[in-house]
């Protein structure tokens, strides 16, 4: 069994003490990291908006903080991220080329964020690379990106989805060993069944919204990240990890 943690939408700024939606993202991230260390993952997947301002120092701080977790990290950028400083501090980041991590499952991160754009999209080259990675292996597979590839039912964020998702949907339909698709960006826990696979939206480590809202509406449950236990058979279990009180 592979133990995976998904951490998303940390929105850390250069300035210490800067807040995101009224919350200190460094304090909440540190508390989430403590909970992750207690849970003991084999791998940490970071699905975008690591930084709020794309600053070098935000990535440096975040990389140091996540390094407290004794597990490798794979990341992919969000619409707030700057690929160059991100890659300096998170060298295992899927920006243009998908990145695969292979264990009991094949885990593939794909960069959906494009410079200067809030919604996401995949280029034909990215879809072709994903297609050949999925054709190269027989294990159960998981694909992770920043933007939601299906609407999540919250108009404030469904304005900025993965655009033109048909090519991605078609690829998933052809590769039935993809059991899970994971994304961030939506700042809430989402579980969607899509044919034979499950889509999971991850809460933010700083501030989340209640589901089904026209506008971002703070969820009093606070920050969280996602845990997943992936069985070699393709079965999985998942839930949320929250900081201890």
Give the side-chain half-sphere CA count within 13 A for 155.
3
* 79 makes contact with Fe ion (CB under 5 A): yes
Count the site residues for Fe ion by CB under 5 A: 4
| Residue with tokens 């606070």, as numbered in its chain | 222
Nearer to Fe ion, 106 or 204 (CB): 204
Q: Name the pairing type of β-strands 2-7 and 225-230.
A: antiparallel
- The SS3 assignment for 232 reads coil
Stretch that binds Fe ion, among 70-78, 171-179, 188-196, 231-239 (CB under 5 A): 70-78
The C-alpha atoms of residue 229 and residue 151 are separated, in whole angstroms, by: 25
* 187 makes contact with Fe ion (CB under 5 A): no
Please state the length of the chain.
Answer: 245
The C-alpha atoms of residue 24 and residue 55 are separated, in whole angstroms, by: 17
Stretch that binds Fe ion, among 12-20, 101-109, 183-191, 203-211 (CB under 5 A): 183-191
Closest CA to 112 of 158, 144, 90: 144
> Which residues in 49-68 contact Fe ion (CB under 5 A)?
49
Q: CB of 196: closest distance to Fe ion in angstroms? A: 27
Q: CB of 57: closest distance to Fe ion in angstroms? A: 20
* 148 makes contact with Fe ion (CB under 5 A): no
Nearer to Fe ion, 148 or 238 (CB): 148
Q: CB of 157: closest distance to Fe ion in angstroms? A: 8
> Which residues in 205-244 contact Fe ion (CB under 5 A)?
none
* 185 makes contact with Fe ion (CB under 5 A): yes
Is 171 exposed, middle or buried, given 0-12, 13-18 or 19+ CB atoms closer than 10 A? Answer: middle
Task: Rule CB under 5 A: choose which of 78, 149, 165, 203 binds Fe ion.
Answer: 78
- Binding marks (x or -) toward Fe ion, 33..52, rule CB under 5 A? ----------------x---
Stretch that binds Fe ion, among 74-82, 128-136, 173-181, 218-226 (CB under 5 A): 74-82
- Sign of the Cα torsion 43, 48, 52, 56 reads positive
The C-alpha atoms of residue 148 and residue 152 are separated, in whole angstroms, by: 7
* CB neighbour list of residue 203: distance below 8 Å, 6 or more residues apart: 8, 9, 187, 188, 189, 219, 223, 224, 225, 226, 240
* 73 makes contact with Fe ion (CB under 5 A): no
Q: CB of 210: closest distance to Fe ion in angstroms? A: 18
Interaction site with Fe ion (CB under 5 A): 49, 78-79, 185
């Amino acid at each position: 069994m592979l133990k995976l943690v998904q951490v998303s939408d940390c929105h850390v700024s250069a300035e210490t003490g800067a807040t995101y939606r009224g919350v200190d993202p460094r304090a909440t991230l540190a508390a989430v990291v403590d909970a992750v260390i207690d849970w003991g993952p084999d791998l940490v997947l970071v699905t975008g908006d690591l930084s709020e301002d794309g600053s070098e120092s935000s990535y440096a701080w975040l990389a140091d903080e996540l390094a407290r977790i004794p597990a490798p990290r794979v990341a992919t950028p969000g619409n707030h991220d700057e690929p160059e400083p991100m890659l300096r501090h998170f060298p295992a980041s899927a920006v243009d080329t998908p990145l695969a991590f292979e264990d009991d499952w094949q885990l593939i991160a794909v960069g959906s964020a494009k410079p200067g754009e809030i919604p996401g999209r995949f280029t034909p080259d990215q879809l072709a690379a994903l297609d050949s990675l999925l054709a190269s292996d027989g294990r159960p597979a998981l694909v992770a990106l920043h933007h939601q590839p299906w609407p999540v039912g919250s108009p404030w964020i469904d304005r900025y989805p993965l655009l033109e998702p048909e090519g991605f949907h078609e690829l998933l339909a052809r590769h039935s060993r993809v059991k899970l698709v994971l994304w961030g960006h939506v700042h809430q826990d989402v579980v969607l069944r899509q044919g034979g696979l499950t889509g999971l939206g991850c809460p933010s480590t700083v501030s989340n919204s209640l589901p089904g809202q026209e506008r971002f509406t703070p969820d009093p449950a606070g920050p969280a990240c996602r845990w997943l236990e992936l069985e070699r058979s393709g079965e999985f279990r998942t839930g949320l990890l929250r900081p201890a009180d």
